[in-house]
A and B are shown apart, each in its own frame.
Chain A
Amino acid sequence: MYKFLLCMRYLKTRWIALASIVSVTLGVATLIVVNSVMDGFTTTMQDRMHGILSDIVLETRSQTGITQPQGYEERIRARLGDRVAGVTTVVTLPAMMTFQRNGNSHTQQINLIGIDQNTFASVSDFSKYLLHPENKKQLDFLLKNNGYAVERERMQPSGWEYRAPMARYQKVVQQRLRNAQELEQERFEQLQQKIQEETQASDGAQADPVAALMAGPGIQIANNAQQISQFDSEKEQRTGIVLGINLGSIRGREPDGTVQDFFFLRPGDDVQVTFPNAGTPPRGIDEQFTIVDFYESKMSEYDSTFAFVPLEKLQHSRGMIDPQTGAGAVTSIQIKLKPGNDLNAARDALRDEFPPTHDFVEVRTWRETQGPLLAAVQLETTILNILLFMIIAVAGFGILATFFMIVVEKTRDIGILKALGATGMGIATIFLGYGVLLGTVGSGVGVVCGLLFVWKINDIARVIEWITGREVFDPTVYYFDTIPTIIHPYMLVWVSLGAILIAVLASVLPSIRAARMHPVEALRYE
């Protein structure tokens, strides 16, 4: 009984001992904040990835791809039964996108993905990330009139509303260019004639190399102009392409500091895509596409490389269609399972069905396809946790020192208690209990502080921004508007238990010392 009473009294009269566990409190609070933010990032990222990626992917690296996808799909459905929620076939290949802007040619590397617009949305949240409301319902690769992300001023106008005036403007420019060229040609011919007359007059006929050179571009431009005129881009569109939004925009700041996306491409613009065909050796193919929508998953890696085009178009252009059967080859088959099914089990079943040695098909879960990234985040979290627990361990040494001081200070009390018949165990219990109490108070306060911090983290970030004048959480970098946080209850439990354990461990040595103290010497202690 006296143990509890004395514990409480020591705590009550020595609040200063709490100072020694402020470090525990801080450590616990920091651990909670760091874990919540890391978990928030990871979970948001995983959710997004998982939304973008299907559950399981069958992939081949062969040039020709999977030539009979229909048969594969049947085998998959047979093997997985009613676990399957959706299957789609995809052609993925690296490609290059080129477009003209301000008279300059811009080139970007992209992941060209040929998708079946009817089934692709069934294996991922693909349509959720498109901008036009109609495309969100069903993508048809046709340019819409307008209505693309109306809340984004910088993207307006887009669609036909943008393409038609642009095309008209281009026509006028082309016309003027042509007129100018014709005029130039005329003047050039006159000049040439004049020179010819002069040279004939002086030292006989001799072709002028400068004149031959200058004649070249003029003809070429004329040819180009002819080609454009065959396709009326004011009324027609080319094959649709859905671009990752970062392929057509740059995130930056307005002069007033607000974060904005600046669009150099919009739905309605044409881009040129160069990709290899399925032949051996592969040859580059050029195709013109019209941007029909943007894809915004907020994962910058995907948003800055993905470009979706209709599957058949890609198969056709690449020569992946078997002339006899008419079946198009694909490079991967993506599968979505019904919720609650074990991905790894399904993967193993498929690996069994399609042995890698036989079909050169690789079966992976979405996690495995993103393995290195997820592993890196996991590693980061682990290291941070270890470091922060080191901080708490350091705090533990602080507690150890404080407790030794308290035991020394209480030497006489210990002697008195022993003279009154307290056992060594009883005395040890006082100080152990004191440690538990301090640890509990410290980690309790830490948990509360940590939770408050996490709860108000965005406000706190704003306050810090206001004080330091520097952005803590830069949305141009992170693609999150607010700091995502997730609090796992079990994390709270193990963090606070860990802190209490450290406080208890730190009080073990002083407790043993107190228990071993000789009563007479303790009583004689001044």
Chain B
Amino acid sequence: MNNPDTTLHPHIPAPHMLDMDSKTASPYRVIRPEDTESLRTKRSANAGQLDPMITASGLVKSYRKHKTVVPVLKGVDFVAPKGRVTAIIGQSGSGKSTLLHLLGTLDQPDGGEIAFDGQRIDCLTARDRDAFRNQQLGMIFQFYHLLPELTLLENVLAPAMISHGLFSYLRNRRMVVQRAKELIDMVGLSHRMKHRPRELSGGEMQRTAIARALIANPSLLLADEPTGNLDHESGQIILRILRQLNQDHGLTIVMVTHDESIAQQCDSVVRLKDGKVERLPPTPLRTTSDAIRGG
């Protein structure tokens, strides 16, 4: 799956260097001939004409406990365009996480379709879904969800260990570890490589989770309230990293949040209410660079 196009540049700029790109890019950029670098091209196009990374149509999901049925999603249509940051907002209990889990194939919908890059993923076999999550998706969560027995480096390596068998892992070890170290360096934790999660702060754990989500070089990152458990400062660092990933490497991000101000910084916002999508009054499409200037 290591498509050279989507491979992260080995020298990923540190978060404080983010503004570099924004100086050259204008808010409503049209396609420029020199803009051939992968997904970057599509970013400048209009939202409606952008290729969708992941789409969901008519998603229905309800939880059953004995005979009581709790309907959570009642026909949700959702599109996340390639190379954009899409926010899902809604009240607590409105089904944001449920939707994200469905998009991430962690759960299966009762009805409706989900397509990833034009391909149905809701009817894959369990094994294919596992592989899909491992190779195409990065996921981060509100509670970080690191493995407590493993060190920071091992946590970041976990998806690679899962995809490789023992021998193929050992064969590719140098390469994979090299990449993990670069990612850890990018999130600014190279000095904590050998630490266990319980020795890290919340922000550091979330940064580790981001590095872990990126190890397989996915094209889509699903984030479930990544700053929900963090103080403002740490949250900002996380958001900056996400923005940088989106900007520099064209990573498509779907981010659940209940923080309006964060949602406003995203390219598009989907609001969930009563199990349905409530379209926001159309706002001018802003690029992340604007958001950064604003925030």
Contact = CB atoms under 8 A, between A and B. Distances in A.
Contacts of B135: 421
Interface in A1-48: 1-2, 4-6, 9-10, 12-13
A419 B106 contact: yes
Interface bin, chain A: 20 to 34
B130 A9 contact: no
B164 A1 contact: yes
A10 B148 CA distance: 10
A418 B106 contact: yes
A415 interface: yes
B130 A5 contact: no
Nearest to A426: B162
A426 B134 CA distance: 13
Contacts of A418: 106, 130
B162 A413 contact: no
Interface bin, chain B: 20 to 34
Contacts of A6: 147, 149-150
Interface in B166-218: 166, 169-170, 212
Contact of B163 (A13, A413, A415, A421): A421
A420 interface: yes
Residue among A10, A422, A426 having the largest count of chain B Cβ atoms under 10 Å:
A422
A10 B149 contact: yes
Interface string B106-119: 11000000000000
A1 B169 contact: yes
Contact of B154 (A5, A13, A422, A424): A5
B248 to A, nearest CB: 24
Nearest to B148: A413
Interface in A502-526: 518-520, 523
Interface in A412-435: 412-413, 415-424, 426
Given A418-B106, A419-B104, A420-B162, A9 B131 contact: no
Contacts of B39: none
A458 to B, nearest CB: 45
Nearest to B98: A520
B147 A413 contact: yes
B106 A421 contact: no
Nearest to A524: B97
B145 interface: yes
Contacts of B284: none
Nearest to A415: B145
Nearest to A519: B106
Contacts of B238: none
Contacts of A426: 162
B158 interface: yes
B162 A422 contact: yes
B127 A423 contact: yes
B240 interface: no
Contacts of A1: 161-162, 164-166, 169-170
Contact of A520 (B107, B150, B164): B107
Nearest to B136: A421
A10 B101 CA distance: 28
Contacts of B126: 423-424
5 contacts: A10-B149, A419-B133, A423-B127, A519-B107, A520-B106
Given A422-B162, A520-B106, 17 more contacts: A2-B158, A5-B150, A6-B147, A6-B149, A412-B145, A413-B147, A415-B145, A420-B139, A420-B158, A420-B159, A420-B162, A421-B134, A421-B159, A421-B162, A421-B163, A520-B107, A523-B106
Interface of A: 1-2, 4-6, 9-10, 12-13, 412-413, 415-424, 426, 518-520, 523
Interface of B: 101, 104, 106-107, 126-127, 130-135, 139, 141, 145-150, 154, 158-159, 161-166, 169-170, 212
